[in-house]
Chains A and B, each alone.
Chain A
Amino acid sequence: MRRNDDRAIRKEMQSHLDEHAAGLMAQGVAPAEARRRAALALGAEAVEEACKDVRPGRWTEDLRRDLRHGLRMWRRQPGFTAVVLLTLGLGIGATTLMVTLVNGVLFKPLAFAHPERVVSVQEQTAAPPNATAVAEGWSNIWAVTFPNYEDMVRASRTLELGAWARSDGIVSQPGVASHVNADEVTASLFPVLGVRPIAGRYFLPREDQRGAAPVAIISAALARQRFGSVPAAIGGRLVYEQQAYLVVGVMPPGFDLNGYTTADAADVYLPLGQDPSPNLQNRGRHMLGVAARLRDGATLGQARRELDVVARRLQAAYPQTNAQRSFLVRPWVADVGDASTTLWLLLSAAGLVLLIACANVASLLLVRAQAREPELAMRAALGAGRGRLARQCLAESLLFGLGGGVLGLGLAGAGLRPFLAIWPGTLPRAADATLDWRVLGLAMATALLCGVFFGLAPAWRIRLQSVDAALRRGGRASAAAGARLHSGFVIAEVGLAVVLLASAGLLGSAMLRLNALNLGLNPTNVVAGRVAMPAPVLAVPARARMAWRDLTDRVRALPGVVAAATVDTVPLREGNNPASYWVGSSPPPEAQQPTALINSVGPGYFAVMRIPLLEGRVLDDRDRQGAMPAAVIDETLAQHAFGGRDPVGQQIHLGLGNDPLTIVGVVQHVRYWGPAGDDSNPVRDTVYYAFDQVPDRLVRRWSQLMSLAVRTSGPPGSMLTQIAAAVRGPAGEDAFYEIRTMSQLARGSLDQQRFLLILFAAFAGLALLLAALGIYGVQAFLAARRMAEFGVRVALGAGRGQLLWLVVRQSLGMVLIGVVAGVAVALLASRALRSAVAGIGSVSPATLAAVGLLLLLAAALASLPPARRASRVDPVRTLRQE
Chain B
Amino acid sequence: MKSDLPQGTLDLLILKVLALEPLHGYAIAQRLEQVSGAVVQIGQGTLYPALHRLEYRGWLAADWKTSSTGREAKFYRLTPKGRKALERETASWERLAGAVRLILDLGEGGAR
Which single member of B44, B72, B74 contacts A47 (CB below 8 Å)?
B44
CA distance A19 to B69 in the complex (A): 8
Which single member of A12, A20, A55 contacts B56 (CB below 8 Å)?
A55
The smallest beta-carbon distance between A549 and chain B, in angstroms, is: 99
Q: Contact at A54–B56, with CB atoms within 8 Å?
A: yes
Q: Contact at B55–A4, with CB atoms within 8 Å?
A: yes
Q: Contact at A19–B48, with CB atoms within 8 Å?
A: no
| Chain A neighbourhood of B67, CB < 8 A | 15, 19
| Chain B neighbourhood of A50, CB < 8 A | 45-46, 48-49
Q: Contact at A47–B71, with CB atoms within 8 Å?
A: no
Q: A4-B55, A12-B74, A42-B44 are in contact. Are A19 and B24 (CB under 8 A)?
A: yes
Within 8 A of B (CB), among A516-565: none
CA distance A12 to B49 in the complex (A): 12
The smallest beta-carbon distance between A48 and chain B, in angstroms, is: 8
Q: Contact at A41–B71, with CB atoms within 8 Å?
A: no
Within 8 A of B (CB), among A15-64: 15-16, 18-20, 22-23, 41-43, 46-47, 50-51, 53-56
Q: Contact at A18–B71, with CB atoms within 8 Å?
A: yes
The smallest beta-carbon distance between B97 and chain A, in angstroms, is: 27
Q: Contact at A15–B49, with CB atoms within 8 Å?
A: no
A interface majority secondary structure: helix
The smallest beta-carbon distance between B69 and chain A, in angstroms, is: 6
B52, CB-defined interface residue at 8 Å? yes
| Chain B neighbourhood of A41, CB < 8 A | 44
Q: Contact at B56–A46, with CB atoms within 8 Å?
A: no
Q: Contact at A54–B52, with CB atoms within 8 Å?
A: yes
Q: Contact at B73–A47, with CB atoms within 8 Å?
A: no
B81, CB-defined interface residue at 8 Å? no
B22, CB-defined interface residue at 8 Å? no
Which single member of A20, A43, A46, A53 contacts B26 (CB below 8 Å)?
A20
| Chain B neighbourhood of A12, CB < 8 A | 25, 48, 73-74
B53, CB-defined interface residue at 8 Å? yes
The smallest beta-carbon distance between B23 and chain A, in angstroms, is: 11
CA distance A47 to B45 in the complex (A): 5
A75, CB-defined interface residue at 8 Å? no
A3, CB-defined interface residue at 8 Å? yes
Q: Contact at A22–B55, with CB atoms within 8 Å?
A: no
The smallest beta-carbon distance between A13 and chain B, in angstroms, is: 8
Within 8 A of B (CB), among A48-106: 50-51, 53-56
| Chain B neighbourhood of A53, CB < 8 A | 49
How many chain A residues touch B (Cβ–Cβ < 8 Å)?
25
Q: Contact at B74–A51, with CB atoms within 8 Å?
A: no
Chain B window 56-84, contacts with chain A (Cβ cutoff 8 Å), 1 for yes, 0 for no: 10000000000101011110000000000
Q: Contact at B25–A54, with CB atoms within 8 Å?
A: no
CA distance A137 to B62 in the complex (A): 83
Q: How many A-B residue pairs have CB under 8 A?
A: 65
Which single member of B30, B52, B73 contacts A4 (CB below 8 Å)?
B52
Which single member of B26, B45, B46, B52 contacts A19 (CB below 8 Å)?
B26
Q: Contact at B69–A47, with CB atoms within 8 Å?
A: no
CA distance A290 to B67 in the complex (A): 91
Chain B window 23-53, contacts with chain A (Cβ cutoff 8 Å), 1 for yes, 0 for no: 0111101100000000000001110110011
Which single member of A3, A19, A43 contacts B71 (CB below 8 Å)?
A19
Q: Contact at B26–A16, with CB atoms within 8 Å?
A: yes
Q: Contact at B69–A22, with CB atoms within 8 Å?
A: yes
CA distance A337 to B92 in the complex (A): 75
| Chain B neighbourhood of A9, CB < 8 A | 48
| Chain B neighbourhood of A16, CB < 8 A | 24-26, 29, 44, 48
| Chain B neighbourhood of A51, CB < 8 A | 48-49, 52
The smallest beta-carbon distance between A696 and chain B, in angstroms, is: 98
B interface majority secondary structure: helix
The smallest beta-carbon distance between B8 and chain A, in angstroms, is: 15
> Residue among A3, A23, A51 with the most chain B CB within 10 A?
A51
| Chain B neighbourhood of A20, CB < 8 A | 26
Q: Contact at B71–A15, with CB atoms within 8 Å?
A: yes
| Chain A neighbourhood of B27, CB < 8 A | 19
Nearest B residue to A8, CB-CB: B74
| Chain A neighbourhood of B72, CB < 8 A | 11, 15
CA distance A54 to B54 in the complex (A): 10
The smallest beta-carbon distance between A47 and chain B, in angstroms, is: 5
Chain A window 383-403, contacts with chain B (Cβ cutoff 8 Å), 1 for yes, 0 for no: 000000000000000000000
The smallest beta-carbon distance between A152 and chain B, in angstroms, is: 71
Q: Contact at A3–B55, with CB atoms within 8 Å?
A: yes
Q: A41-B44, A51-B49 are in contact. Are A15 and B56 (CB under 8 A)?
A: no
CA distance A8 to B73 in the complex (A): 11
Which single member of B44, B49, B71, B73 contacts A54 (CB below 8 Å)?
B49
| Chain B neighbourhood of A11, CB < 8 A | 72, 74
Q: A16-B25, A16-B26 are in contact. Are A56 and B44 (CB under 8 A)?
A: no
Q: A19-B24, A47-B48 are in contact. Are A56 and B56 (CB under 8 A)?
A: yes
CA distance A50 to B53 in the complex (A): 10
CA distance A51 to B74 in the complex (A): 14
CA distance A315 to B56 in the complex (A): 81
CA distance A43 to B53 in the complex (A): 19
Q: Contact at B73–A46, with CB atoms within 8 Å?
A: no
Nearest A residue to B26, CB-CB: A19
Q: Contact at B45–A46, with CB atoms within 8 Å?
A: yes
> Residue among A22, A43, A47 with the most chain B CB within 10 A?
A47
CA distance A251 to B67 in the complex (A): 86
The smallest beta-carbon distance between A52 and chain B, in angstroms, is: 9
Q: Contact at B44–A15, with CB atoms within 8 Å?
A: no
| Chain B neighbourhood of A46, CB < 8 A | 45
Q: Contact at B74–A42, with CB atoms within 8 Å?
A: no
CA distance A566 to B16 in the complex (A): 108
Chain B window 10-30, contacts with chain A (Cβ cutoff 8 Å), 1 for yes, 0 for no: 000000000000001111011
Q: Contact at B69–A15, with CB atoms within 8 Å?
A: no
Within 8 A of B (CB), among A827-868: none
Which single member of B24, B29, B52, B55 contacts A15 (CB below 8 Å)?
B24
Q: Contact at A55–B44, with CB atoms within 8 Å?
A: no
Nearest A residue to B49, CB-CB: A50
Nearest A residue to B67, CB-CB: A19
> Residue among B25, B27, B46, B55 with the most chain A CB within 10 A?
B25
The smallest beta-carbon distance between A268 and chain B, in angstroms, is: 75
Q: A4-B52, A54-B56 are in contact. Are A15 and B45 (CB under 8 A)?
A: no
Q: Contact at A54–B53, with CB atoms within 8 Å?
A: yes
CA distance A9 to B25 in the complex (A): 12
Q: Contact at B48–A15, with CB atoms within 8 Å?
A: no
Nearest B residue to A45, CB-CB: B45
| Chain A neighbourhood of B46, CB < 8 A | 50
The smallest beta-carbon distance between B52 and chain A, in angstroms, is: 5
CA distance A788 to B22 in the complex (A): 61
The smallest beta-carbon distance between B20 and chain A, in angstroms, is: 19
CA distance A50 to B47 in the complex (A): 10
Nearest B residue to A3, CB-CB: B55
> Residue among B24, B29, B44, B48 with the most chain A CB within 10 A?
B48
| Chain A neighbourhood of B29, CB < 8 A | 16
Nearest A residue to B25, CB-CB: A16
What are 25 A-B interface contacts by the 8 Å CB criterion? A3-B56, A8-B74, A9-B48, A11-B72, A12-B74, A15-B24, A15-B25, A15-B67, A15-B71, A16-B24, A16-B48, A19-B69, A19-B73, A22-B69, A23-B30, A41-B44, A47-B45, A50-B46, A50-B48, A50-B49, A51-B48, A51-B49, A54-B49, A54-B53, A56-B56
Question: Which residues of A does B touch, CB under 8 Å?
Answer: 3-4, 8-9, 11-13, 15-16, 18-20, 22-23, 41-43, 46-47, 50-51, 53-56
Extra pairs beyond A19-B71, A50-B48 (20, CB < 8 Å) = A11-B74, A12-B74, A15-B25, A16-B24, A18-B71, A19-B67, A19-B69, A22-B71, A23-B30, A41-B44, A43-B45, A47-B44, A47-B48, A50-B49, A51-B48, A51-B49, A51-B52, A54-B53, A54-B56, A56-B56
Question: Which residues of B does A touch, CB under 8 Å?
Answer: 24-27, 29-30, 44-46, 48-49, 52-53, 55-56, 67, 69, 71-74
Ranked 6 nearest A-B pairs via Cβ: A19-B26, A50-B49, A15-B73, A54-B53, A16-B26, A47-B45
